[in-house]
Amino acid sequence: MDYFIFGLVDNGVMIFGAFTGLEVEKYLPPRFRLGVLMPIVGAGIGNACSDFLGGLVALNVPLAVGSLLGCIVALALIPIFNYSLRSK
């Protein structure tokens, strides 16, 4: 049941953000704004938040924290991917 609740909240938050036009990246300090990469960063932050909330609502703290940490690590890879793909 944890995974069902997680998925429901995870996608529910994402769908809510899409319908309302919520842009999490506009709340970042200017030094973290990466121009054309902002939609990718915003999507990653939104996914991290919705994954974390899904785990919390499912009352599964290890799932919430693990999902959040995994998403943060993936977000940290964005500049590396961008540099390596653009240098080709």
Count of the separate structural domains present in the chain: 1
Instruction: Classify the C-alpha dihedral 6-8-13-15 as positive or negative.
Output: positive
Q: How far is CA 48 from the centre of its chain?
A: 3
30 found inside a domain? no
Tokens 């959040």 belong to residue: 68
pLDDT at 32: 66
Whether 29 is in a domain gets the answer no
pLDDT in tens, 27-70: 777 776 667 778 888 888 888 989 999 999 989 999 999 999 99
- pTM for the structure as a whole: 0.74
Tell me, yes or no, whether 68 lies in a domain: yes
For residue 33, what pLDDT is reported?
Answer: 66
Domain span holding position 49: 2-24+35-86
- Asked, for residue 59, whether it belongs to a domain, the answer is yes
